[in-house]
Amino acid sequence: MAQEVHFARQLVQSATDIAVVTHIRPDGDAIGSLLGLGLALAASGKSVQMISGDGVPSTFRFLAGSDRIRTHLEELSGSLDLIVVVDASELSRTGTVLDGYPSPHINIDHHPTNTNFAGINLVEVSAVACAEMIALLLPELGLQIDKPVAEALLAGMLTDTIGFRTNNMTTRALNVATSLMEKGANLSEIYQKVLLQRSFQAMRFWGSGLSNLQRDGRIVWTALTMEDRKNAGYPGRDDADLINILSSISDTDISLIFVEQPDGNVKVSWRAVDNIDVSGVAQWFGGGGHRAAAGATMPGPLAEAQKSVLEVTRKLTFSSK
């Protein structure tokens, strides 16, 4: 990757008008990576647009600079000379924000399902978060890590590892986290804000999902309907991270959640234990992700999506055993 990093550095150094773009339905790593790279570029004097097609979830709005994130590129972006996409394995994961623009120059990502869609693809699957990669890349790109950058990157690392407890954790990741703390990021405060605090509405939404929990052998799942969302008063389109709770159920190999979307589609999330790979099942349904955590969006109705996903999940993950 050394050669690619060298090219990326040249592109970054010579660019003046830069867009950094992250994936739709952004999680903490998406926002942390976007802000980490975007703020570092801005601090070096570049003109930077930080773009998240779906905006910034309220959980991450405490991060300095998050108010500078926009949902669209500015009209006059004819002068854009560098487009960087972060934490997205495919161009389609950026939504429609890059429609009509040249294909991205640089992609920084850690998903094994990455399709190498950019000119320069910095893809490292052993990184626990895209934010970890960015923390390591910034000095190589000639950019500084100040306190807001460190906070954003630590938030990204914490969320993708659910507080440094996923099975892909490495000593390198902990060392990177240490260096971000040394730059001023407050671990316990960021941990509280991105992983522990929940709105009252989110808790009520969890309640609906938990009361409908199902199990078949070593698979557990639940669904969150639009009705559940309305009753709870929960604003987002996501599962309020309920999947992370399901994945802590003992004697279980795979947990799934089905989240009904306003457009009738169904967002599916898979989580798996160590020796099971769910990224292939997610890809089968047009999605992607990691061995232990993957997702896809598919057509409804909910009951049918649920039936076929459970069937294929059983087939693809257990048949070869």
Interface residues toward ligand 5GP, by CB under 6 A: 89-90, 93, 111, 113, 269, 287-290, 293-297
Residue 89 interacts with which of Mn ion, ligand 5GP, none, CB < 5 to 8 Å by class: ligand 5GP
Residue 289 interacts with which of ligand 5GP, Mn ion, none, CB < 5 to 8 Å by class: ligand 5GP
> What is the nearest approach in angstroms of ligand 5GP to the Cβ of residue 237?
11
CB 73 within 8 A of CB 95: no
Of 294 and 302, the one with the shorter C-beta distance to Mn ion is 294
Residue 252 interacts with which of Mn ion, ligand 5GP, none, CB < 5 to 8 Å by class: none
CB neighbour class for 77 (10 Å; exposed up to 12, middle 13-18, buried from 19): middle
Q: Pick from 276, 313, 282, 280: which is nearest to 295 by CA?
A: 282
CB 151 within 8 A of CB 190: yes
Of 87 and 151, the one with the shorter C-beta distance to ligand 5GP is 87
Residue 290 interacts with which of Mn ion, ligand 5GP, none, CB < 5 to 8 Å by class: ligand 5GP
Specify the 3-state DSSP secondary structure of 43.
Answer: helix
Length of the chain: 321
Specify the 3-state DSSP secondary structure of 222.
Answer: strand
Evaluate the CA torsion angle 178, 184, 185, 189 in order and state its sign: positive
The only residue of 90, 132, 151, 160 in contact with Mn ion, by rule CB under 5 A: 160
Q: For residue 87, state whether it binds Mn ion (rule: CB under 5 A).
A: yes
Residue 293 interacts with which of ligand 5GP, Mn ion, none, CB < 5 to 8 Å by class: ligand 5GP
Query: Which of 46-54, 154-162, 192-200, 293-301 is the region at the interface with Mn ion (rule: CB under 5 A)?
Result: 154-162
Of 160 and 239, the one with the shorter C-beta distance to Mn ion is 160
The only residue of 23, 25, 26, 29 in contact with Mn ion, by rule CB under 5 A: 29
Which position's Cβ is nearest Mn ion? 29
> What is the nearest approach in angstroms of ligand 5GP to the Cβ of residue 160?
7
CB 61 within 8 A of CB 67: yes
Sequence-ordered alpha helix ranges (H) in the chain:
2-14, 28-43, 130-140, 147-160, 171-182, 187-191, 200-211, 226-232, 242-246, 279-284, 302-318
Rounded to whole angstroms, how far apart are CA atoms 66 and 112? 28
Residue 156 interacts with which of ligand 5GP, Mn ion, none, CB < 5 to 8 Å by class: none
Binding site for Mn ion (CB under 5 A): 29, 87, 130, 160
